[in-house]
Structure 1
């Protein structure tokens, strides 16, 4: 059996990834705006709803083209779907695309020799940004599925935002719950993400506190206290 290390990422793949980060971020935000208008705008507000639908379709087509280019430049063939599962996931669930803001910010920080924020502060800021974008996207999706369903408790977008906040923070008051199958699937994904984000924030904050206390102990004169 060969012990040859895995092939490095092709140079053209890296170049494509660097050049498309900002355009794809813009496309992700446009997708989210278009979807929000499509979901929240009244049915009689034409042509805005049709424009929003066209914006959603166009930006999703951009995501499909980008995925195809990445698949070809990677040289991995079918393995690309498995090794780049996050790219596949956001192609199937475009509402997760705005989370590329976090990826872009990470790339910018890596280009600095001295990041402006400490590791713990960066983790907490990434988690906070992720929670806001994910919560807003989930609120839109759940409201889209739930507000017209029989016996639905989520009737307004405000109800959906309240539900998303309660779900992300793992509080779960139970006053607003999804009743449709797709709504419950979105809720399950959001609950899993909420637990992960909460763990990241609390773990980083605890580590930061321990680091602060350790520095205080080091500065304390020997034999004191």
Structure 2
């Protein structure tokens, strides 16, 4: 119980700083990838901010591992956190959790219904995942031989069509790393789409059930 309370206290205190670090990570990485013409000092500063943010994520992971008292089991029991430490480009998705952190500090404020929260988080997660995937794919693809993703606009279009599970095939990654990112993005797109559709269906069912109990149309 003591370990659980220590972990909970740490997570509450670290939530906002880590969200800010996630945003800094995304901004610094994006600036470095897209700002090829920037002075070397600026690019070096962006690289330093990127690694500093990553270091904060590693410290947070290590502290929660230490407080959990689970030993090596922590790695596979918290496999998503372990994956995010290895693949820090997934970390900006943490930004969507800032809503809950703010609500926890304002207990009197009304919370959104669970279906609306799921749809909001899924939408924000999709946008952030699409942006980070577009940055990483553009980074490794635009100079590769035979690449079809030559501009950041191409990368954004590819990320949007992949997340939407459309996959037009007009622009595709040709490098191994780019294809690995594509596989991950496909899986995330399917999961997020399923979450939105499931939540919306649940909301509709509740509305129709309530309308049936009241004997009126759903919108009344």
Task: Report the TM-score, using the length of structure 1 for normalisation.
Answer: 0.88
Gaps of 5+ in 1: 1-6
Report how far residue 114 of structure 1 moved: 6.9
Distance 2:133 2:6 in 1: 35
Gaps of 5+ in 2: none
* 1:3 corresponding residue in structure 2: none
* 2:88 corresponding residue in structure 1: 94
> Highest Rg: 1 or 2?
1
Report how far residue 218 of structure 1 moved: 2.4
Among candidates 194, 198, 207, match of residue 189 of structure 2: 194
Residues 77-86 or 7-16, more deviating = 7-16
Does residue 1:148 correspond to 2:143, yes or no?
yes
Does residue 1:22 correspond to 2:16, yes or no?
yes
* 2:33 corresponding residue in structure 1: 39
Distance 2:154 2:183 in 1: 18
Residues 37-46 or 168-177, more deviating = 37-46
Q: 1:200 to 1:64 in 2, by over 3 A?
A: same
Does residue 1:83 correspond to 2:74, yes or no?
no
Report how far residue 211 of structure 1 moved: 1.8
Aligned length: 215
Partners of 1:31 and 1:59 within 8 A in 2: yes
Among candidates 117, 120, 124, match of residue 119 of structure 2: 124
Partners of 1:131 and 1:168 within 8 A in 2: yes
Q: 1:110 to 1:20 in 2, by over 3 A?
A: closer
Residues 37-46 or 195-204, more deviating = 37-46
Which protein has the bigger helix share?
2
Q: CA RMSD in A?
A: 1.9
Task: Report the TM-score, using the length of structure 2 for normalisation.
Answer: 0.90
Partners of 1:146 and 1:183 within 8 A in 2: yes
